[in-house]
Structure 1
Amino acid sequence: MKRGYHHGNLRQALVEAALALISEKGPQGFTLSEAAKLAEVTPAAVYRHFAGREDLIAEVARQGYDIFAALMEYAYNDGKPSALAAFEATGRAYLAFARKYPGHYPAMFESGLTFNAHPELALVAGKARAVLERAAEKLSDHLPADRRPPPTMVSNHVWAMSHGVVELFTRGNPGAKSPFPPEDLLEAGIGIYLRGLGLIAPDR
């Protein structure tokens, strides 16, 4: 009996096959036929669940964003023990996610999928972004309202910084290109950025 049918969830079997192929070859490096073969079903069976390869990758990305949002929420921990500690924890969670989910991460950020074409991705990605925006907003509570930087700007800058550290120093052979651990690089970068905005006190 085919493996996909045996466990009763062919759709998820194809997702798992795609995850393995993306981890090995990247989101653009495999065909739908390869995913079907790995799931031990015929290529025709794939179309009962997915319109095509992009649809399959979009489902991988959607599941990844679900995991990512939950991980970010857990790391933020309702802003405890402090706004700064919680904010920094979300950055570390970003790096941890990229390491632990090497199939989901490229599907989410390197596959070329657009939120316009896949609005379900925008919805679930928004959950993760909302956590980071909430964290950024809490950091500026102590400033007068007219001096608070837009939380969306702050969260997007830190998101970009986190993504950069992942791409340069975490993917492939972690730490091989830097004398510093990725977590230290990100924490230092966030600290410099937040001090520049006046969100945390300067070093003495």
Structure 2
Amino acid sequence: MVKKRGYHHGNLRAALVEAALSLIEEKGPTGFTLSEAAKRAGVTPAAVYRHFDGREELIAEAARQGYEIFADLLTFAWNKGDLTDLARFEAISRAYLTFARRYPGHYVAMFESGIQTSRSPELAEVAARAMGVMERAAEQLINHIPASRRPPARMFSAHIWAMSHGVVELFARNSPGNASPFAPEELLESGIGVYLRGLGLIDPDH
């Protein structure tokens, strides 16, 4: 039995976020109460309100932390070794799958909880940082395309973001009825390949 520790929890804020993440993974972002999160963290429900006004604020903090991790993973992928712009861009796309699998609670808090990134300046800032990594990678890659055929970097990155997100949602998160004979990585790589060939960034015979 978990002993309740009231207001004397050493790092209550972090413990509550961890509790929320585990509950999100088990029950979804709307399937648990603040009291359940408090119980799992080993504190009284009243103690929660020292840090969070309600369940949505707790989920928003989980989302903010998720975007921090997400942005770091994308940055790491972009800065990988001595790779071509194309190879580094493809690494960023694969990092999307890695994040969704490795941090499912954060992923759901970010993309499936209904929490808007505009909810707070802190959340908006870190979400913009994550998107910014992909936009900068796209901008550098499209410099290899003649100016007359060059799409806006923001549109380019949004297309790849949408494709990555779609593969995660349909095929990488055990969605019922969406079994595929192909691995999510293979689906994403081939889909991005088709897109990039259409822009002339990959040789049609490659």
SS in 2 for 1:73: helix
Contact 1:79-1:135 at 8 Å conserved across structures: no
| 2:94 corresponding residue in structure 1 | 92
Please give the alpha-carbon distance, in whole angstroms, between the structure 2 residues aligned to 1:116 and 1:91.
24
Change (3 A) 1:3 1:196: farther
Aligned residues: 204
Structure 2: segments with no counterpart, 5+ residues = none
Shift of 1:194: 1.2
Matches within 5 A, 1:1-204: 2=4, 8-77=10-79, 80-172=82-174, 177-203=179-205
SS in 2 for 1:14: helix
One-letter code aligned to 2:18: E
| TM-score (normalizing by structure 1) | 0.92
Shift of 1:200: 2.6
Please give the alpha-carbon distance, in whole angstroms, between the structure 2 residues aligned to 1:202 and 1:131.
27
SS in 1 for 2:205: coil
Structure 1: segments with no counterpart, 5+ residues = none
Shift of 1:201: 2.4
Shift of 1:203: 2.1
The alignment yields a C-alpha RMSD, in angstroms, of: 2.1
Please give the alpha-carbon distance, in whole angstroms, between the structure 2 residues aligned to 1:102 and 1:71.
14
Contact 2:6-2:44 at 8 Å conserved across structures: no
| TM-score (normalizing by structure 2) | 0.92
Farther off after superposition, 52-61 or 69-78: 69-78
SS in 1 for 2:119: coil
Instruction: Report % sequence identity.
Output: 70
